[in-house]
């Protein structure tokens, strides 16, 4: 397409077709929710639906998530939606978050913003700082999500300066009595989603950052 046509789209002198919106969405790697929003603004019907997680046609996807979470034991693993609501968790995650009264259907974001978590995180300012950055990134990728933006602002207030980490990753260090667990995480997403529910779903896998934590989780499973 010509740069002139793109300019006309940007200034409102021309209206995009459905095909043009699809091409722009692909080129900009926009999430499905943002593509639906573009279609709506252009006067078209949305094309990407959000199926119910319990729907029969989602069974293969649920099985894939089950397999991923269960195979990750003895380490914790959870599946969360775009607003950080826990969709599913494995047994080690239930053991980790259960004492914090966090279960499937609850909001991990609400826990992050509560007064419960900070006293239990040894490096809370550092964790809050990096979580705020992640929330801003996720919000921007989705075209702006007020809930994520407000949470990022509140977490960013915890520390204006954060010590530079000497390690390859920034772990989250839980402390409860004599128990000390140091964990870092990786995030996985579906590679070819055509459904809003799947496009929003993230699988977060936690790994031990030291031998003490690894032994602790293996002992819990045993």
CATH 3.30.450.180 residue window(s) in the chain: 56-221
Quick check: 141 pLDDT over 90? no
Please tell me the distance from the alpha carbon of residue 159 to that of residue 126, in angstroms, as a whole number.
Answer: 8
* Nearest Cα residue to 171 out of 204, 209, 206: 209
Number of H helices, E strands in the chain: 10, 5
Q: What percent of the chain has pLDDT over 90?
A: 63
Report pLDDT digits (tens) over 167-183.
788 999 999 888 899 99
Whole-number Cα distances in Å, 209 to 82, 112, 119:
26, 21, 20
Q: How confident is the model at residue 163 (pLDDT cuts 50, 70, 90)?
A: low
The tokens for 22 are 């699809």
Q: What is the arrangement of strands in the sheet containing 172-176, beginning at the earlier edge strand?
A: 86-89, 77-80, 202-208, 179-188, 172-176
Check residue 26 and give its pLDDT: 86
Check residue 37 and give its pLDDT: 86
DSSP 8-class letter at 107? B
* CATH label, 56-221, candidates 3.30.70.3000, 3.30.450.180, 3.30.930.10, 2.40.10.10: 3.30.450.180
Count CB neighbours of 120 within 10 A. Answer: 15
Helix, strand or coil, per DSSP, at residue 185: strand
Q: Model-level pTM?
A: 0.83
On the question of a cis peptide bond just before residue 128, with omega within 30 degrees of 0, the verdict is no
Alpha helices of the chain — where are they, by DSSP H?
3-11, 18-28, 32-41, 59-71, 91-97, 108-113, 124-141, 146-156, 196-200, 211-221
Please tell me the distance from the alpha carbon of residue 155 to that of residue 122, in angstroms, as a whole number.
Answer: 16
Report pLDDT digits (tens) over 12-64.
999 999 999 989 988 888 888 888 888 888 899 888 888 888 889 989 999 99
């Amino acid at each position: 397409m010509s740069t002139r046509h793109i300019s006309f789209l940007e200034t409102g002198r021309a209206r995009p077709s459905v095909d043009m919106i699809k091409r722009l969405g692909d080129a900009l790697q926009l999430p499905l929710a943002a593509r639906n929003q573009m279609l709506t603004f252009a006067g078209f019907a949305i094309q990407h639906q959000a199926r119910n997680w319990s729907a029969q046609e989602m069974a293969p996807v649920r099985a894939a998530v089950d397999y991923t979470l269960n195979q990750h034991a003895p380490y914790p693993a959870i599946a969360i939606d775009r607003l950080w609501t826990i969709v599913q968790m494995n047994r080690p995650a239930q053991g980790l978050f259960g004492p914090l009264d966090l279960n499937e259907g609850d909001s991990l974001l609400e826990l992050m913003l509560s007064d419960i978590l900070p006293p239990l995180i040894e490096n809370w300012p550092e964790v809050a700082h990096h979580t705020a950055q992640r929330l801003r990134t996720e919000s921007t990728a989705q075209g702006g999500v007020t809930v994520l933006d407000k949470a990022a602002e509140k977490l960013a207030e915890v520390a204006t300066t954060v010590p530079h980490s000497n390690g390859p990753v920034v772990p989250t260090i839980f402390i409860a009595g004599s128990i000390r667990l140091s964990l870092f995480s990786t995030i996985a997403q579906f590679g070819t989603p055509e459904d809003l529910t799947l496009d929003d779903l993230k699988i977060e896998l936690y790994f031990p950052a030291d031998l003490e934590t690894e032994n602790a989780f293996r002992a819990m499973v045993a």
